[in-house]
A = this chain, B = another copy of it.
Amino acid sequence: MSAAKPRLSVRDLLHPRSVAVFGASEDRGKFGGRILHYLASHGFPGRIVPINPRRATIAGLPCHPGIEAAGGPIDLAILAVPAGAILSSITACAAAGVGACVIVSTGFAEAGEEGARVQADLQAISRRTGMRIVGPNCMGLINTHHRLALSSSLVLDVPELPRGPIGLISQSGALMVAIFDRARDAGVGFSTCVSLGNQADVEICDILEYMIDDPATDAICMYIEGLRDGLRFQALARRARDRGKPVFAVKTGRTAAGVRAARSHTASLAGSYRAFAAVCREAGVVLMDDADAMVLAAAMRVRFGPARAGGIGVFSPSGGGAGIGVDRVTEAGLEVAVLGEATRARLRELLLPPQADNPIDLGGRLAPDVPGTAAAIMAVFAADPGVGTVFVPLTTTPRYEAASREIGEALLAAGKPFVIAVMPGGAADGVRAALRAIGCPFTDRIDDAIRILVHHAEQGRLAAPAAGAPRRPDGLPDPAALAPRLAAGALAEHEVKAILADYGIPVAREAFAADVEAAVAAARAIGFPVVLKAVARALVHKSDIGAVRLGLADEAAVRAAWAAIARALGQALPGARLEGCLVAEMVRAGDELILGLKRDDQFGPMILAGFGGTEVELDPDTALAPAPIGAEAALRLLRGLRRFPLLEGWRGRRPADLAAIVDAVVRLSWLGADAGGALAELDINPLILRAGDGRPVAVDARAATRGPGAAAAEPPPP
């Protein structure tokens, strides 16, 4: 059955002309009571329709026994009725022509099988009728510009909705309201906040798409537990990047334990966090680990744009604040601003010699502490071209509120990006109010300030995205030729290498030998010394069990090694069949890399590159990107490795052949894209950099296919 046309666009859903409240009440101890109260008290300009069979009027509004009696049109209905009663209410809404239902109730897919069945029924109604559903298991939505406060949460118990440029999408309702509240404390406002819960119908990407186009939203913040459609997310994130609208995200399920928690919570497919992070990096989404800091970072980005050149200038009323500020900035890998001599000379007229440099300790001012002193010093300091961003750990100081206001005003006047961290607790509430009053942003903790500074600097450093899709390198085989080679099931090492060689990835000279005589002949052809490696499909970590023998200098050594391998295999995996051995050239090894492909359930093929060898699991130094990838992005990927300088020649070492490594990464990524769903994963480990010329050569490779019929929709090239 094809789906009915949606009754409302997302835009209309967020700008309803009328809202029905199920279970409306004057008792604010009840869901429906709070919802009605907040909706009315924040001045919703449309029609408010209380639904309650036991009342004729509520809060002066005519009340209806059911939605069918309310008279249309009803754009939106909000329901917090028990899960057991939801189906009849939703059916009635659909029949009454309601445009969309916001279902706050819990007890659906997140609650187990029975709830999942009810949720499926809700989805069926939505698809059949076109009535949209937000939730279930959500906390409603807020559109400050439409004065729409549609939630039962006590965080709406404020005199005025905080309007501002930030759009917030949150799967978790509890986090949406916590984020909203913290941001309001910090003077940050929102255009629209939507909590999505189980995403039975309206999903994260629907709201993301709306916000990309919404002129009232200048930056988008997302709290994600799981995506319904990874590829749609990727495409929308790229669209936001191309439109210059910054997107920030926090995702739970970063860890295996978190994945389990997220799955049960809003019944989401959490997917691989590493793949998600790689997609975000590629699409320019700023990925953070704290939702409150995310909103502050977005507000900073909207206010100041991406970070500029220059380091961090630290300015504090106290030496303690200055010292902590500099330590934390430096530990976070940020650059501390170096002031020019002219600035330092001017500062020496205002501050004691030891304080007349970055960091500034205002306690060292020469003039008496009168209005204007702090502002004058800040003006000189912030104007230095070496100062890209100012960081103010705002400890107590005499005339605390007045001095803080002056500092805030001076920062706003200077026009450079800045972050203020208010250090005391309740004793600084007056300072917070003073800063909010002049429209000066601040954070409440050093941790958040540092996060914001780090992510702001990152946005400044982000290379411009590659123009258009990556180009398919010349000489790659026809993609259609790959499927049959992968369809056969498990691949032996030499079969994997044959595919790699066809894609132009350098592979060690080697031959498969089914018996020891063939091995001796192959060794003579390749030239001694050689390597002998067991071929047995059950065997993954060959070197662990002694099934790889290196440096075999002559025929006798080859024969002895063959016998030893057969013995080792028999001991380690009784019953496993030694199908033969690979005889390979002995590559004189420099560094060892690992290249790999891994198919992500949400985002399709991902390419991995990094330092390899047997230590890769102990001390990983690898990076991931969605495949296929172009040469420029591949180089960026490699540059992100901790040990990258080794490849450029470190302390007199010979540099590796970086162009050849980049080429191998690009070609392998196309192999991943061509393989589609048929390839689960492929590892080249190690990709040895030859000791002589630093050229890469694959000496060990393995692959896991997904068998016939595993192919699925692939992401479009970026």
Residue numbers of A with Cβ under 8 A of B are 31, 106-107, 110-112, 115, 152-155, 157, 170-175, 177-178, 181-182, 184-186, 223, 225, 252-258, 260-266, 289-291, 314, 316-324, 326-331, 336, 352-355, 359, 361, 363-364, 395-398, 400, 423-428, 444-447, 541, 543-546, 614-615, 617-619, 621, 642-643, 645-646, 650-653
Contacts and interface: CB of A to CB of B under 8 A. Distances in A.
Contacts of A107: 352
A257 B326 contact: yes
Contacts of A174: 316-321, 363, 395-397, 423
A323 B618 contact: no
A396 B178 contact: yes
Contacts of A178: 395-396, 423-425
9 contacts: A154-B427, A170-B320, A174-B397, A175-B321, A181-B427, A263-B354, A265-B319, A544-B651, A618-B645
Contacts of A265: 318-320, 322-323, 354, 361
B258 A326 contact: yes
Contacts of A645: 618
B290 A112 contact: no
Contact of A650 (B172, B255, B618): B618
A354 B252 contact: no
A223 B320 contact: yes
Given A182-B424, A330-B255, A331-B255, A261 B175 contact: no
Report copies per complex. Answer: 2
Nearest to A186: B425
Contact of A258 (B184, B323, B396, B653): B323
B318 A447 contact: no
A545 B264 contact: no
Contacts of A266: 319
B155 A396 contact: yes
B650 A252 contact: no
Given A112-B352, A319-B172, A615-B643, A181 B330 contact: no
Contacts of A223: 320
Contacts of A396: 153-155, 174, 177-178
Chain B CB within 10 Å, residue with most, of A321, A324, A328, A444: A324
Given A174-B319, A265-B354, 14 more contacts: A31-B398, A107-B352, A110-B364, A112-B352, A154-B396, A170-B320, A175-B320, A175-B324, A252-B323, A254-B327, A266-B319, A614-B650, A618-B643, A619-B621
Contacts of A425: 178, 181-182, 184-186, 444
A261 B330 CA distance: 12
B544 A652 contact: yes
A289 B328 contact: yes
By Cβ-Cβ distance, the 5 closest A-B pairs, closest first, are: A172-B320, A265-B319, A174-B318, A264-B354, A252-B323
A619 B591 CA distance: 14
Contact of A320 (B225, B444, B445): B225
A416 to B, nearest CB: 20
A326 B289 CA distance: 12
A234 B599 CA distance: 54
A256 B330 contact: yes
A445 B449 CA distance: 13
Contacts of A317: 174
Contact of A619 (B254, B314, B643): B643
B290 A651 contact: no
B359 A318 contact: no
B322 A261 contact: yes
Contacts of A171: 320
Q: Which of A106, A428, A651 gathers most chain B CB within 10 Å? A: A651
A423 B353 CA distance: 43
B172 A255 contact: no
A177 to B, nearest CB: 5
A112 B354 CA distance: 6
A475 to B, nearest CB: 36
Contacts of A336: 257
A118 to B, nearest CB: 13
A117 to B, nearest CB: 14
B257 A615 contact: no
A400 B291 CA distance: 21
A195 to B, nearest CB: 9
A546 B181 contact: no
Contact of A264 (B254, B314, B355): B355
A323 B254 CA distance: 9
A319 B424 contact: no
Contacts of A106: 363-364
A319 B261 contact: yes
A177 B652 contact: no
Nearest to A614: B651
Given A354-B111, A427-B155, A253 B320 contact: no
Contact of A653 (B185, B326, B614): B614
A112 B353 contact: yes
A337 to B, nearest CB: 10
Contacts of A424: 155, 177-178, 181-182
B364 A257 contact: no
Given A425-B181, A447-B447, A264 B546 contact: no
Nearest to A270: B323
A110 B356 CA distance: 12
Contacts of A395: 172, 174-175, 177-178
Nearest to A152: B398
A486 to B, nearest CB: 28
A274 to B, nearest CB: 13
A291 B324 CA distance: 10
Contacts of A359: 257, 261
Contacts of A157: 427
Contact of A652 (B31, B319, B328, B545): B545
A50 B116 CA distance: 75
Given A264-B361, A290-B447, A446-B290, A253 B175 contact: no
Contacts of A444: 425
B323 A253 contact: yes
A150 to B, nearest CB: 16
Contacts of A173: 318, 320
A428 B155 CA distance: 9
Nearest to A31: B398
A110 B170 CA distance: 49
A331 B111 contact: no
Nearest to A445: B445
A427 B181 CA distance: 7
Contact of A323 (B261, B314, B352): B261
